[in-house]
Structures are given as C-alpha cells and as structure tokens.
Structure 1
Amino acid sequence: MATGTEPQPKSGTAPGGGVRDGTRAAIAAAHLRTDRWWLAPAATAAGLLAFVVYSTWRAFANADYYQAPYVSPFYSPCLADNCEPMRSGPNWEIFGSWWGLSPALLILIFPLGFRLTCYYYRKAYYRGFWASPPACAVAEPHKKYSGETRFPLVLQNIHRYFFYAAVPVAGILTYDTVLTFRDEHYEWGHMGLGTLVFLLNTVLIWAYTLSCHSCRHIVGGKLKHFSKHPVRYRMWQWVGKLNARHMLLAWASLVSVALADFYVYLIASGAFDDPRLF
C-alpha cells in the first residue's frame, strides 16, 4: 500500500534504459506493446543478412558470371582486363592488369552504395541490426542519439549522388537484357528462360531506382508553381505513386538481382542448360 513517502524517480529517468530525457514520461516498462513487434525487425535483419552473405560470396568468387548470352548483373559492366572474354554486355578494360581482384568489386560499389544510403534501407537496417529504434513505440536501448549528424552516418546525405550513378547502371543492365534475345552463337531472334529472368530484374531495378525519394525531389521537389510546369508535375505525380511502393520495390529488386546472378551462376557452372523458349 502506498504511503506517499516512497522515493520518486528523478525527472526524465526510468528503469530499462533507452533514450530518456526530461520530456519523456517516467514509465517503468520498457514499452507497452503486447504484439510480436520483434518479428518485423528480425525478419528484416535475416533477409538483409542473407543477401549480404550471398552477394559477398559471389562478388569475391570471380568465376561463373558469364555464359553467352548472359552476364551476371554483379559483374556488368566489366571494367578490368581480367574479365572473362565476353561478347555479351559491356566489357570496358579501363583497369589494367594491376587489378587482380574480382572485377565485381569495381562496379558493385555504386548499386550497393545507392541501396545502403536509401531512405527505406536506412530504416530497415537501423531497426534490424542497431535497434535504433527496434520498432514503433519501443524505445531504443542506446543512451545517446545523434541521428545522422555525425560521422559516419552523416555520409548518408550523399544518397542523391549515388542515384546519379544508379541510373546508368540500370541502363547498362537494360542493355544486357536486350542482348539476351540472342543465342549462344550471338544470333538474334532467340529467347531463353534467362531472358525472362533478366527482363523481370530490369523492370524491378528501374522501378526501384525511379521510386527513390531523390528522384522524386529531382523531378519536382524544387518547383514552387506546379501550374507553370505541367509536364514535370505529371512526372512528379507518377514518381510519387512509385514512391508509395518504395519498400516493396526495394525488396523485390533485391531478390530479383540476386536471382539473376544465381541463374547465370547455375548455367555458367554447368548445373543445367538454359531452356530455349524459341
């Protein structure tokens, strides 16, 4: 029974840790949610971790990334002279023989940098790996919070520049997809199962890239009068509709690019032959 003489918690403090200050209620419970709030961040962390493990293996493998007419999206464009000889997809030997590592490491920095600094992916791995915060209405366990104002997270602000790099990468993957309408002898008018895999991946990559918040801002974010720019206003509306599905497109394109690479790996390693549709 309370007597009114019990010691009161100091203002702005509460058991359980987390971000606490003078503006927060001194509630003993860490949170008041009763649902399985931890499922979403756990699933996000598992999915991202699976992709990191797979992409790291494939990036450093430096093998089984080309089988005419398919070239893995992880290795295109191939920028080193240690690339496998290929007549499918861009192969620019910009880096000489001094580059002894996998050529995938020269190109993956751009699409991965674009995704790493993406507004959605920030939310995903902040919650999934850093618990910052782990979920809505669940206080994070860290005692201090500086947001993205300090190094290294302040570098997240270069996302718009990675967008400029992501657009030509998507264009190159489109070119690679066009070249899949050839057979192993580079004759046009053919289509294999891999062509459909590449088509799906290209569509999702473009949808994810164009649904980016930076793209939406570039298209119409700086306009003060939409009535004076009807074309850009329509584009801004179209990009806005894609932006509403940015999370779905982020995951779908992540799976599709891994699937496209894995498909090339299977046929390049001899696991099975690419079925020809016509």
Structure 2
Amino acid sequence: MATTQTPGTGTGIRTPGRASIPDRHLRTDRWWLAPTVTVAVLTAFVIYSTWRAFANSDYYAAPYVSPFYSPCLASNCVPMKGGADLQIFGPWWGISPALIVLIFPLGFRLTCYYYRKAYYRGFWAAPPACAVAEPHAKYSGETRFPLILQNIHRYFFYFAVIFAVILSYDAVLGFRNAAGQWGHMGLGTLVLLVNIALIWVYTLSCHSCRHIVGGRLKNFSKHPVRYRMWTWVGKLNARHMALAWASLVSVALADFYVYLVASGAFHDPRFF
C-alpha cells in the first residue's frame, strides 16, 4: 500500500513526518471483541471482589475459609472446634480483614505482565489491539509515576508464593470436619483444591518466576537442575494468559461457594 509523507500538524500517529494513513486501522476482523470481553470480565470481578471485601461476613464455613479472607486472623473469624485459634489481631476495629489480605494477591495480579496488557488495551486503549493505533497523543510507557510502580511485580511474586502456601494449607484443612477431625471431604474441598492448583500454576508461570529460576545464567549445561526447572516454567509461561483467566475465575468461584455455605443458602454435600 502506497503512503505519502505530509508535513501537517498533530501528535502521536499524526506527528509530522510519519506516514499519512487516513484510516484509523486497516483490520477487517472483529478486533474489538477481545478488549470488550476483557473489560466486561475484569469489571465484573472488581465489582464482585469489592462487595465481598467490604462485606466482612460469610467468609468462614467450617472447615472452609474464603481465599479472599485467608489467612483468617480477625476475631470474628470463628475457629474450628478442636482446631487452632486464629484470632490474632482482634476485630480489626470494624474493618474487613479482606481489605488488608487482598492487597498482596491483587498487587501481584495488577502488576502481572499479562494483566497489564489486558487492562492497558481494554480500559486505556493503549493500543486497543495490534495494528490499531491508540488515541493518546503522548506515550511515556512505564517510565513515570504511577506506572513505574509496575516494576515492583517481582516483589509481589514473593508475597504471592507465601499466600499460595497459605491457601494450600486451607485446602488441606478442607479434609477436616467442623469438629476438627480428619476424614472429611465435601464439594467445598474439591473447590478449594481446584482453586489452589490453578493459583499455583498461574503463580509459577509468572515471567518473574521464570527469570528467578533461569535468569542470569551464562551456561545452562553447568546448571542442569535450574535448566530443567526453567524449561518447565517456560512451558507454563506459554500458557500464562489462560492460567491468569482460569485462576481469576476460580478464586472468585471459591469465595462465592464459601459465601453460599456460610450464609446458609447452600448445603455442602459430603462425599465421605
């Protein structure tokens, strides 16, 4: 396609000296569908998680703890009979403990490389899709405040691993009954197990994890164990987008399941 150079005035793609293409884009497919779905799903998750975070109720149904409120440290989190007393920090002065707990897993997701791409394109149109120009006049990337804070993603990764361990412990506790005795398994146990499995593979598929495992190595042959781990994490990393969405949905469903059981709207079926 022939283009012409025109002096003109403007900013961004209309800057003088750039190829003059009158059309905003030349794509004929439904390029707008992906960012639209992204906006819809992320908005729904934000609305739901905000409601649950401020609810400060119905997040514990022995032996299940909502992932939004774990670790369950407030005094209004009823411990299991015969189990450990989790009442460490008192009633939080009326503040929902989820508002503090969620800082770390949400910080990990918000600074995630894939989620950046998703909400940059979906909400800020930067750009909305490949081969579609963004409408912004200026672009500074992540070199200025507040987007420069995205660089702390690697540190949120360490917190994400800690919370994944805590949620794994919660999933194991799902095999106890309300009296604290082992040998219980209900539908909620499976819900928590699936959720933590997806959270682990999403966390380990992180770009930061891949760099920690195999980064700064000049010769893989001298580090066969790290190379094997790097290869495995690399395979997960190739599916980072799918794992990001799957784990986002699973954590919301796990919380909703605990809410239904804790509120009495649904009875947790037991397998044994």
CA drift at 1:196:
0.6
TM-superposed deviation, 1:12:
7.5
Q: Distance in 1 between matches of 2:6 and 2:208?
A: 45
Counterpart of 1:130 (choices 110, 124, 131) is 124
Letter in 1 for 2:7: K
CA gap 1:18/1:261 in 2 versus in 1, 3 angstroms: same
Instruction: Tell whether 2:158 aligns with 1:161.
Output: no
Q: Which residue of 2 aligns with 1:3?
A: none
Shift of 1:230: 0.4
In the aligned structure 2, how far is the partner of 1:36 from the partner of 1:181? 47
- The question of whether the paired residues in 2 share the 8 Å contact of 1:38 and 1:134 is answered with yes
Of 66, 69, 84 in structure 2, the residue corresponding to residue 72 of structure 1 is 66
Shift of the 254–165 alpha-carbon distance from structure 1 to 2, 3 Å rule, reads same
Which whole-Å CA distance do the structure 2 matches of 1:91 and 1:125 have between them? Answer: 40
Which residue identity lines up with residue 54 of structure 1 in the other structure? Y
Q: Which residue of 1 aligns with 2:262?
A: 268
Cα distance in 1 for residues equivalent to 2:244 and 2:98: 21
The change in CA–CA distance for 1:171 and 1:23 in structure 2 (over 3 A counts) is: farther
Question: Residue by residue, what CA displacement relative to the aligned partner does 1:147-195 show, whole Å, maximum 9, x if unpaired?
Answer: 0000000000000000010001000000000000112222111100011
Q: Say whether the 8 Å CA contact 2:63–2:173 is kept in structure 1.
A: yes
In the TM superposition, residue 93 of structure 1 has moved relative to its aligned partner by: 4.7
Question: Percent identity at matched positions?
Answer: 76
In 1: Cα distance, 2:168 partner to 2:16 partner:
54
2:106 maps to which residue?
Answer: 112
Q: 1:79 to 1:128 in 2, by over 3 A?
A: same
Give the equivalent residue in structure 1 for 2:136: 142
Give deviations 1:187-213, integer Å, cap 9, x for gaps.
111100011101100100000000000
- Residue ranges of structure 2 left out of the alignment (5+ in a row): none
Do the aligned residues in 2 keep the contact of 1:70 with 1:264 (CA within 8 Å)? Answer: yes
> Where does residue 85 of structure 1 map in the other structure?
78
Q: Secondary structure at the match of 2:73?
A: strand
2:169 equivalent in structure 1? 175
Q: Per-residue displacement from partner, 1:4-29 (whole Å, max 9, x unpaired)? A: xxxx842675xxx7544456311111
Map 1:1-278 → 2, pairs under 5 A: 9-10=6-7, 18-21=12-15, 24-81=18-75, 83-87=76-80, 92-97=86-91, 99-278=93-272
Deviating beyond 4 angstroms after TM superposition, the runs of 4 or more aligned structure 1 residues are 88-94
Shift in CA distance, 181/94, structure 1 to aligned 2, threshold 3 Å? closer
* CA shift for structure 1 position 221: 1.1
Change (3 A) 1:223 1:268: same
Instruction: Say if 1:44 and 1:128, in contact at 8 Å, map to a contact too.
Output: yes
Give the distance between the partners of 1:90 and 1:52, measured in 2 at CA. 32
Q: Distance in 2 between matches of 1:180 and 1:254?
A: 21
Aligned amino acid, residue 252 of structure 2: A
**Amino acid of the structure 2 residue aligned with 1:231:** V
- Structure 1 residue ranges without an equivalent (≥5): 1-7
Q: CA deviation at 1:36?
A: 1.0
Q: CA deviation at 1:233?
A: 0.4
Q: CA deviation at 1:100?
A: 2.3
- Post-superposition CA distance 1:61-84 (Å, at most 9, x none): 000000100000000002333x32
TM-aligned CA deviation for residue 86 of structure 1: 1.6
Normalised by the size of structure 1, how large is the TM-score? Answer: 0.91
Corresponding letter in the other structure for 2:30 = R
Alignment-mate amino acid for residue 85 of structure 1:
V
